[in-house]
Amino acid sequence: MRRILLSATLVATLSCGETQREGEPLPALAPNPFITHLYTADPSARVWDDGRLYLYPSHDIDPPRGCDLMDKYHVFSTDDLLHWTDHGQIVEAADVPWGRKPSLADGATFMWAPDCIRKNGRYYFYFPHPSDDPWNSNWRIGIAVSDRPASGFTVLDHWLEGLGDDNFAMIDPNIFVDDDGQAYFYYGGGGRCAGARLHENMTELAEPLTFMTGLNDFHEAAWVFKRNGTYYLTYADNHTENGRGANRMRYAVSNKPLGPWAGKGVFLGSTSCDTSHGSVVEYKGEWYVFYHSSDLSGGRGNLRSVCVDRLGFNEDGTIRTVRQTR
Protein backbone atom coordinates (compact mmCIF):
# COMPACT_ATOMS: atom_id res chain seq x y z
CA MET A 1 0.00 0.00 0.00
CA ARG A 2 1.42 3.37 -0.94
CA ARG A 3 0.26 6.70 0.44
CA ILE A 4 0.46 9.47 -2.09
CA LEU A 5 0.97 12.83 -0.43
CA LEU A 6 0.23 15.64 -2.77
CA SER A 7 1.92 18.99 -2.43
CA ALA A 8 -1.21 20.66 -3.66
CA THR A 9 -1.77 24.34 -3.81
CA LEU A 10 -4.76 24.20 -1.51
CA VAL A 11 -7.00 26.59 -3.27
CA ALA A 12 -10.70 25.83 -3.36
CA THR A 13 -12.17 27.41 -6.44
CA LEU A 14 -15.77 27.55 -7.52
CA SER A 15 -16.55 26.72 -11.09
CA CYS A 16 -19.57 28.30 -12.70
CA GLY A 17 -22.78 27.18 -11.06
CA GLU A 18 -21.52 25.06 -8.21
CA THR A 19 -23.78 24.79 -5.23
CA GLN A 20 -21.70 25.91 -2.30
CA ARG A 21 -23.42 25.66 1.08
CA GLU A 22 -23.51 28.95 2.87
CA GLY A 23 -20.55 29.46 5.17
CA GLU A 24 -18.89 26.23 4.04
CA PRO A 25 -15.91 26.43 1.69
CA LEU A 26 -15.74 23.73 -0.96
CA PRO A 27 -13.04 21.16 -0.25
CA ALA A 28 -9.78 21.68 -2.14
CA LEU A 29 -8.97 19.26 -4.93
CA ALA A 30 -5.51 17.96 -5.74
CA PRO A 31 -3.96 19.44 -8.89
CA ASN A 32 -4.53 17.40 -12.04
CA PRO A 33 -3.39 14.82 -12.83
CA PHE A 34 -3.51 13.65 -9.24
CA ILE A 35 -1.80 10.25 -9.61
CA THR A 36 1.71 10.68 -10.94
CA HIS A 37 3.77 7.67 -9.84
CA LEU A 38 2.23 5.48 -12.56
CA TYR A 39 0.01 6.06 -15.58
CA THR A 40 -3.72 5.53 -15.12
CA ALA A 41 -6.78 5.91 -17.34
CA ASP A 42 -10.53 5.20 -17.51
CA PRO A 43 -11.33 6.05 -13.87
CA SER A 44 -14.43 4.48 -12.30
CA ALA A 45 -15.17 6.23 -9.00
CA ARG A 46 -17.24 4.57 -6.27
CA VAL A 47 -18.13 5.53 -2.72
CA TRP A 48 -18.44 2.60 -0.34
CA ASP A 49 -19.95 2.49 3.11
CA ASP A 50 -16.62 3.03 4.88
CA GLY A 51 -16.98 6.65 3.73
CA ARG A 52 -14.01 6.52 1.36
CA LEU A 53 -14.06 7.19 -2.36
CA TYR A 54 -12.43 4.36 -4.33
CA LEU A 55 -11.04 4.65 -7.82
CA TYR A 56 -10.83 1.68 -10.18
CA PRO A 57 -8.88 2.86 -13.24
CA SER A 58 -7.00 0.96 -15.89
CA HIS A 59 -3.21 1.16 -15.92
CA ASP A 60 -1.18 2.37 -18.91
CA ILE A 61 2.16 0.60 -19.19
CA ASP A 62 5.36 2.54 -19.83
CA PRO A 63 6.89 2.14 -22.38
CA PRO A 64 3.56 1.94 -24.19
CA ARG A 65 2.38 0.31 -27.37
CA GLY A 66 -0.96 2.03 -27.84
CA CYS A 67 -3.27 0.29 -25.34
CA ASP A 68 -1.98 -3.21 -26.20
CA LEU A 69 0.25 -3.77 -23.17
CA MET A 70 -2.18 -2.80 -20.43
CA ASP A 71 -2.05 -5.87 -18.20
CA LYS A 72 -3.07 -5.05 -14.62
CA TYR A 73 -5.25 -2.95 -12.35
CA HIS A 74 -4.47 -0.97 -9.20
CA VAL A 75 -7.07 0.44 -6.76
CA PHE A 76 -6.80 3.88 -5.17
CA SER A 77 -8.81 5.53 -2.40
CA THR A 78 -9.19 8.83 -0.59
CA ASP A 79 -11.32 10.44 2.07
CA ASP A 80 -10.65 14.05 1.10
CA LEU A 81 -9.84 14.10 -2.65
CA LEU A 82 -6.38 15.42 -1.73
CA HIS A 83 -4.57 12.47 -0.24
CA TRP A 84 -4.75 9.25 -2.21
CA THR A 85 -3.66 5.76 -1.26
CA ASP A 86 -2.50 3.28 -3.90
CA HIS A 87 -3.69 -0.07 -2.57
CA GLY A 88 -1.60 -1.88 -5.17
CA GLN A 89 -2.44 -4.39 -7.82
CA ILE A 90 -5.65 -6.42 -7.59
CA VAL A 91 -5.90 -8.31 -10.91
CA GLU A 92 -3.60 -8.99 -13.86
CA ALA A 93 -4.04 -10.60 -17.27
CA ALA A 94 -2.29 -13.79 -16.17
CA ASP A 95 -5.09 -14.34 -13.60
CA VAL A 96 -7.74 -14.73 -16.32
CA PRO A 97 -8.14 -18.46 -17.02
CA TRP A 98 -10.20 -17.96 -20.19
CA GLY A 99 -8.16 -15.03 -21.53
CA ARG A 100 -6.53 -14.75 -24.94
CA LYS A 101 -2.97 -15.99 -24.52
CA PRO A 102 -0.50 -13.16 -25.24
CA SER A 103 1.89 -15.73 -26.75
CA LEU A 104 -0.65 -16.36 -29.52
CA ALA A 105 0.62 -13.35 -31.40
CA ASP A 106 2.24 -10.29 -30.00
CA GLY A 107 2.32 -10.24 -26.20
CA ALA A 108 -0.68 -7.93 -26.06
CA THR A 109 -2.67 -8.13 -22.84
CA PHE A 110 -5.61 -5.71 -23.23
CA MET A 111 -6.86 -5.15 -19.68
CA TRP A 112 -9.04 -2.15 -20.55
CA ALA A 113 -11.50 0.10 -18.73
CA PRO A 114 -13.00 -1.61 -15.63
CA ASP A 115 -15.75 -0.91 -13.12
CA CYS A 116 -16.51 -2.18 -9.61
CA ILE A 117 -19.78 -2.48 -7.72
CA ARG A 118 -20.74 -3.58 -4.22
CA LYS A 119 -23.68 -5.95 -3.95
CA ASN A 120 -24.82 -8.27 -1.18
CA GLY A 121 -21.73 -7.37 0.86
CA ARG A 122 -19.27 -8.36 -1.87
CA TYR A 123 -17.26 -6.34 -4.40
CA TYR A 124 -17.62 -7.30 -8.06
CA PHE A 125 -14.87 -6.01 -10.35
CA TYR A 126 -15.76 -6.13 -14.07
CA PHE A 127 -13.14 -5.78 -16.78
CA PRO A 128 -13.07 -6.18 -20.58
CA HIS A 129 -10.60 -8.69 -21.97
CA PRO A 130 -10.41 -10.69 -25.23
CA SER A 131 -10.83 -14.45 -25.02
CA ASP A 132 -9.25 -15.33 -28.37
CA ASP A 133 -8.03 -14.04 -31.74
CA PRO A 134 -8.99 -11.91 -33.56
CA TRP A 135 -8.89 -9.95 -30.32
CA ASN A 136 -11.27 -7.14 -31.30
CA SER A 137 -14.04 -9.60 -32.17
CA ASN A 138 -13.69 -11.59 -28.98
CA TRP A 139 -14.14 -9.16 -26.12
CA ARG A 140 -15.64 -10.71 -22.99
CA ILE A 141 -16.38 -9.18 -19.63
CA GLY A 142 -14.39 -10.77 -16.83
CA ILE A 143 -15.44 -10.66 -13.17
CA ALA A 144 -13.26 -10.74 -10.06
CA VAL A 145 -14.89 -10.96 -6.64
CA SER A 146 -13.74 -10.01 -3.16
CA ASP A 147 -15.10 -9.35 0.32
CA ARG A 148 -12.95 -6.21 0.43
CA PRO A 149 -12.90 -3.16 -1.88
CA ALA A 150 -9.17 -3.03 -2.63
CA SER A 151 -7.67 -6.49 -2.14
CA GLY A 152 -8.44 -10.18 -2.15
CA PHE A 153 -10.01 -10.36 -5.63
CA THR A 154 -10.35 -13.74 -7.34
CA VAL A 155 -11.10 -13.89 -11.06
CA LEU A 156 -14.05 -16.17 -11.86
CA ASP A 157 -13.41 -19.01 -14.28
CA HIS A 158 -16.16 -17.78 -16.60
CA TRP A 159 -16.96 -14.43 -18.12
CA LEU A 160 -20.23 -12.52 -17.66
CA GLU A 161 -22.87 -14.82 -19.13
CA GLY A 162 -25.61 -13.77 -21.54
CA LEU A 163 -23.78 -11.31 -23.78
CA GLY A 164 -24.09 -13.46 -26.89
CA ASP A 165 -21.57 -13.90 -29.68
CA ASP A 166 -21.39 -10.50 -31.37
CA ASN A 167 -18.77 -8.86 -29.16
CA PHE A 168 -16.90 -6.86 -31.78
CA ALA A 169 -15.39 -3.81 -30.00
CA MET A 170 -17.81 -4.25 -27.07
CA ILE A 171 -15.72 -2.99 -24.13
CA ASP A 172 -15.97 -0.73 -21.06
CA PRO A 173 -18.38 -2.45 -18.63
CA ASN A 174 -20.39 -0.26 -16.28
CA ILE A 175 -22.79 -1.30 -13.52
CA PHE A 176 -25.57 0.86 -12.11
CA VAL A 177 -27.65 -0.19 -9.08
CA ASP A 178 -31.05 1.47 -8.91
CA ASP A 179 -32.82 2.57 -5.74
CA ASP A 180 -34.76 -0.72 -5.58
CA GLY A 181 -31.49 -2.71 -5.58
CA GLN A 182 -31.80 -3.90 -9.19
CA ALA A 183 -28.39 -3.87 -10.90
CA TYR A 184 -27.98 -3.00 -14.58
CA PHE A 185 -25.06 -3.80 -16.86
CA TYR A 186 -23.93 -1.53 -19.72
CA TYR A 187 -21.07 -1.83 -22.18
CA GLY A 188 -20.17 -0.76 -25.67
CA GLY A 189 -17.71 0.51 -28.20
CA GLY A 190 -17.37 1.18 -31.89
CA GLY A 191 -20.65 3.13 -31.91
CA ARG A 192 -22.83 0.57 -30.12
CA CYS A 193 -24.00 0.71 -26.52
CA ALA A 194 -26.08 -2.03 -24.91
CA GLY A 195 -27.47 -2.80 -21.48
CA ALA A 196 -29.58 -5.24 -19.51
CA ARG A 197 -30.73 -6.09 -16.01
CA LEU A 198 -28.19 -8.17 -14.14
CA HIS A 199 -29.16 -11.37 -12.35
CA GLU A 200 -29.03 -11.20 -8.55
CA ASN A 201 -25.87 -13.35 -8.71
CA MET A 202 -24.13 -10.48 -10.59
CA THR A 203 -22.43 -12.94 -12.95
CA GLU A 204 -25.05 -13.28 -15.68
CA LEU A 205 -27.59 -11.12 -17.46
CA ALA A 206 -31.20 -11.50 -16.36
CA GLU A 207 -32.56 -10.64 -19.80
CA PRO A 208 -31.39 -10.15 -23.40
CA LEU A 209 -29.37 -7.02 -24.17
CA THR A 210 -31.17 -3.86 -25.24
CA PHE A 211 -29.28 -1.54 -27.57
CA MET A 212 -29.42 2.05 -26.32
CA THR A 213 -31.19 4.57 -28.53
CA GLY A 214 -30.97 8.36 -28.57
CA LEU A 215 -27.22 8.65 -27.90
CA ASN A 216 -25.62 11.18 -30.26
CA ASP A 217 -22.23 10.16 -31.66
CA PHE A 218 -21.61 7.36 -29.13
CA HIS A 219 -18.08 5.95 -29.19
CA GLU A 220 -17.39 4.14 -25.88
CA ALA A 221 -17.08 4.58 -22.08
CA ALA A 222 -20.71 4.34 -20.93
CA TRP A 223 -21.37 5.40 -17.32
CA VAL A 224 -24.87 5.55 -15.79
CA PHE A 225 -25.90 7.41 -12.65
CA LYS A 226 -29.15 8.77 -11.21
CA ARG A 227 -29.86 12.21 -9.78
CA ASN A 228 -33.24 13.52 -8.60
CA GLY A 229 -35.05 10.65 -10.31
CA THR A 230 -33.38 11.21 -13.71
CA TYR A 231 -31.04 8.62 -15.25
CA TYR A 232 -27.91 10.02 -16.88
CA LEU A 233 -25.74 8.10 -19.35
CA THR A 234 -22.34 9.70 -19.96
CA TYR A 235 -20.01 8.51 -22.73
CA ALA A 236 -17.12 9.41 -25.01
CA ASP A 237 -17.90 10.69 -28.49
CA ASN A 238 -15.93 10.39 -31.75
CA HIS A 239 -14.81 14.01 -31.99
CA THR A 240 -11.59 14.79 -33.90
CA GLU A 241 -9.58 17.99 -34.25
CA ASN A 242 -6.84 18.71 -36.79
CA GLY A 243 -7.02 15.15 -38.04
CA ARG A 244 -6.50 13.50 -34.64
CA GLY A 245 -8.77 12.09 -31.98
CA ALA A 246 -10.03 14.65 -29.48
CA ASN A 247 -12.92 12.76 -27.92
CA ARG A 248 -15.23 14.61 -25.56
CA MET A 249 -17.69 13.43 -22.93
CA ARG A 250 -21.36 13.73 -23.78
CA TYR A 251 -24.45 12.76 -21.87
CA ALA A 252 -28.05 11.77 -22.38
CA VAL A 253 -30.98 11.48 -19.95
CA SER A 254 -33.95 9.19 -19.50
CA ASN A 255 -36.70 8.38 -17.03
CA LYS A 256 -35.82 4.69 -17.33
CA PRO A 257 -32.49 2.94 -16.75
CA LEU A 258 -32.34 1.38 -20.22
CA GLY A 259 -33.67 4.37 -22.14
CA PRO A 260 -34.78 5.48 -24.64
CA TRP A 261 -32.33 8.34 -24.11
CA ALA A 262 -32.50 12.02 -25.01
CA GLY A 263 -29.10 13.39 -26.07
CA LYS A 264 -28.06 16.52 -24.14
CA GLY A 265 -24.64 17.35 -25.54
CA VAL A 266 -21.02 17.77 -24.49
CA PHE A 267 -20.19 18.47 -20.82
CA LEU A 268 -16.44 17.73 -20.83
CA GLY A 269 -14.43 19.08 -23.74
CA SER A 270 -11.38 17.49 -25.31
CA THR A 271 -8.32 16.96 -23.15
CA SER A 272 -4.71 16.47 -24.26
CA CYS A 273 -5.61 12.84 -25.01
CA ASP A 274 -7.27 11.36 -28.08
CA THR A 275 -9.56 9.10 -26.02
CA SER A 276 -11.94 10.22 -23.29
CA HIS A 277 -13.37 8.11 -20.51
CA GLY A 278 -14.88 9.15 -17.21
CA SER A 279 -17.24 8.62 -14.32
CA VAL A 280 -19.56 10.82 -12.31
CA VAL A 281 -20.01 10.43 -8.56
CA GLU A 282 -21.50 12.26 -5.59
CA TYR A 283 -19.17 12.43 -2.59
CA LYS A 284 -19.84 14.22 0.68
CA GLY A 285 -22.64 16.26 -0.90
CA GLU A 286 -20.75 17.44 -4.00
CA TRP A 287 -20.64 16.03 -7.52
CA TYR A 288 -17.41 15.20 -9.33
CA VAL A 289 -16.32 13.98 -12.74
CA PHE A 290 -13.25 11.76 -13.07
CA TYR A 291 -11.57 11.55 -16.48
CA HIS A 292 -8.11 11.26 -18.01
CA SER A 293 -5.66 13.43 -19.90
CA SER A 294 -2.17 13.01 -21.35
CA ASP A 295 -0.76 16.10 -19.64
CA LEU A 296 1.74 14.17 -17.51
CA SER A 297 3.28 12.19 -20.38
CA GLY A 298 3.00 15.00 -22.89
CA GLY A 299 1.10 12.57 -25.08
CA ARG A 300 4.00 10.12 -25.27
CA GLY A 301 2.59 6.92 -26.70
CA ASN A 302 -0.83 7.92 -25.47
CA LEU A 303 0.14 7.43 -21.80
CA ARG A 304 -2.73 8.80 -19.71
CA SER A 305 -3.32 10.04 -16.16
CA VAL A 306 -6.52 10.41 -14.18
CA CYS A 307 -7.98 13.79 -13.24
CA VAL A 308 -10.93 15.02 -11.19
CA ASP A 309 -12.99 18.20 -11.35
CA ARG A 310 -16.23 19.46 -9.92
CA LEU A 311 -19.48 18.86 -11.71
CA GLY A 312 -22.29 21.41 -11.61
CA PHE A 313 -25.96 21.02 -12.48
CA ASN A 314 -28.44 23.65 -13.60
CA GLU A 315 -31.87 23.96 -11.99
CA ASP A 316 -33.37 21.90 -14.81
CA GLY A 317 -30.93 19.05 -14.23
CA THR A 318 -28.71 19.71 -17.23
CA ILE A 319 -24.98 19.40 -16.62
CA ARG A 320 -22.79 22.49 -16.78
CA THR A 321 -19.65 22.43 -18.87
CA VAL A 322 -16.77 21.22 -16.73
CA ARG A 323 -13.92 23.59 -16.11
CA GLN A 324 -10.79 21.45 -16.46
CA THR A 325 -8.27 22.44 -13.80
CA ARG A 326 -4.57 21.65 -13.58
Catalytically annotated residues = 42, 220
Dihedral angle sign, alpha carbons of residues 120, 121, 127, 131: negative
67 binds ligand FUB (CB under 6 A): yes
103 by DSSP, 3-state: which? helix
Q: Give the total of residues touching ligand FUB (CB under 6 A).
A: 12
If you ran DSSP here, which 8-state letter would residue 313 be given?
A: B
Residue 221 is a binding residue for ligand FUB (CB under 6 A): yes
Which residue number, 167 or 275, has a Cβ lying nearer to ligand FUB?
Answer: 275
Q: Strand order in 154-155's β-sheet?
A: 115-119, 122-130, 139-146, 154-155
What's the sign of the alpha-carbon dihedral 306, 308, 312, 313? positive
Please state the closest distance from residue 227 (CB atom) to ligand FUB, in A: 23
Residue 286: partners with Cβ closer than 8 Å, 6 or more residues away: 18, 19, 26, 27, 310
Instruction: Check binding of 58 to ligand FUB (CB under 6 A).
Output: yes
Residues of span 111-150 touching ligand FUB by CB under 6 A: 112-113
Q: Given the complex with ligand FUB, which of 275 and 293 has the nearer CB atom?
A: 275
CA distance 245 to 187: 21
Q: Quick one: DSSP state of residue 219?
A: -
Asked if residue 171 binds ligand FUB (CB under 6 A), the reply is yes
Q: In the chain, which residue ranges form alpha helices assigned H by DSSP?
A: none
Taking CB under 6 A as the rule, does residue 237 contact ligand FUB? no
Convert residues 277-316 into a mask of x (bound to ligand FUB by CB under 6 A) and - (unbound): x---------------------------------------
User: Which CB atom, from 46 or from 219, has the smaller least distance to ligand FUB?
Assistant: 219
* List of residues contacting ligand FUB (CB under 6 A): 41-42, 58, 67, 112-113, 171-172, 220-221, 275, 277
